[in-house]
Chains A and B, each alone.
Chain A
Amino acid sequence: MTLTASLVVAAALFGIGLFGALSQKSFVMLMMGLELMLNGTLLAAVGFWAFTLEGAPKGQLLAILVMAVMAVELVIGFALVVAVYRKRQADVVESLGTLKQ
């Protein structure tokens, strides 16, 4: 269990999440990709705290902030999905083209 190993695992999670966020059509699956990217970020933050800071408690605050970002992303994302579906009956990315110019 080293810092390098945990960062490589975090990079793998981030890469899979990026793949999912770019490739999925459905909004909910796209959000799962974003969550997976944040999962990797959380692991990297915890790894940095555990191996480079000699246990200074301030390092864990970054991980707590990442968790807050996760919650915000999920809540606002679902609210947007509900709003868009109510307005346009759309649940895939392709059906939103208003900003595409």
Chain B
Amino acid sequence: MTNLAFYTLSALAIWSGWRVFRVDSMIRATFALMVSFICVGGIALLMSADYIGIATVFMMAVEMTVMGLFMVMFMMNPAGLNPMQMVHQHRFSIGAGIAAFIGLTVAVLATNLPNNPLPAGRDTLHDLGVELLGGSMLIFETAGVTLLATMVGAVVLSSRRGRFGDSDAGAVPPGLQPGGQPAGRKVEKSGGHGGHGGDGSHDMNMNMKGAPKSDDAPHKGHGKMPEEES
């Protein structure tokens, strides 16, 4: 019974993982990835890693919902209605994927793996809880602090402007001569595919180029507002 469930879930995980890159609709790809994750969570449950399995299912349900949202925002072809070429270096990628699979499988089959299975009736959930808040608390807390740093980093990276002007104000290289053009290569032109660049894209580019001059006045006005109130 357990074997049957394991092999069914494994086959479903691999098949839906494959469907992720084969379906036309990006939303369907997102849900295929979610099915793959849920199957792995189910396999973890079968292996009596209860906490990992349940946490995977919960986390991936939320994560894939967010991913679907970003798909609609950023994909060139969210619904798969018009056929597009969305892959590059196709043959090389297939070769790399197959080589990785075969290499890892050969490594697994050639290794003399240890066999110390889980004893029956061991309360793994209780053990894991004691371990997480006991001996291995530092690892657990390190993961927590890393996630906090990730939140800060995500806000910093995705904010349009900081307190003192544009968020990338310091990221422009200085000029070769005083007052000259910024050093380094020019920013490339836009992405080169249809579907984007309608509303708001052009004046955003203008803002980027004329940042020191034309943006100065609104920034100062914005910054003064608290002083005037006080």
Contact = CB atoms under 8 A, between A and B. Distances in A.
Interface in B172-222: 185, 187-188, 190-193, 196-197, 201, 204-205, 208
Given A33-B21, A58-B131, A71-B63, A22 B96 contact: yes
Interface residues of B, number: 99
Given A24-B86, A25-B86, A26-B75, A79 B153 contact: yes
Interface in B92-128: 92-94, 96-98, 100-101, 104-105, 108-109, 113-119, 122, 124, 127-128
A41 B94 CA distance: 20
Interface in A1-59: 1, 3-20, 22-29, 31-33, 35-36, 39, 42-43, 46-47, 49-55, 57-58
A65 to B, nearest CB: 6
B129 to A, nearest CB: 8
Contacts of B136: 57-58, 61
Nearest to B114: A52
A23 B47 contact: no
Contact of A71 (B131, B150, B157): B150
Contact of A49 (B43, B49, B192): B49
Contact of A39 (B40, B71, B88): B40
B160 interface: yes
Interface residues of A, number: 79
B94 A8 contact: no
A19 B204 CA distance: 35
B179 to A, nearest CB: 24
Contact of A14 (B10, B101, B109): B101
B61 interface: no
Interface in B6-44: 6-7, 10, 13-14, 17-18, 20-21, 26, 29-30, 33, 36-37, 40, 43-44
Given A55-B124, A94-B192, A20 B20 contact: yes
Contact of B75 (A1, A60, A91, A96): A91
A97 B190 CA distance: 12
A25 B205 CA distance: 24
Contacts of A97: 188
Contact of B191 (A82, A83, A92): A92
Given A46-B49, A52-B116, A24 B131 contact: no
Interface string A79-98: 11111011111111111111
B88 to A, nearest CB: 6
19 contacts: A7-B113, A11-B100, A13-B36, A16-B14, A22-B92, A25-B87, A32-B30, A36-B17, A52-B115, A52-B116, A54-B117, A64-B139, A76-B150, A79-B154, A87-B208, A89-B190, A89-B205, A90-B188, A96-B188
Interface of A: 1, 3-20, 22-29, 31-33, 35-36, 39, 42-43, 46-47, 49-55, 57-58, 60-61, 63-65, 67-68, 70-72, 74-76, 78-83, 85-98
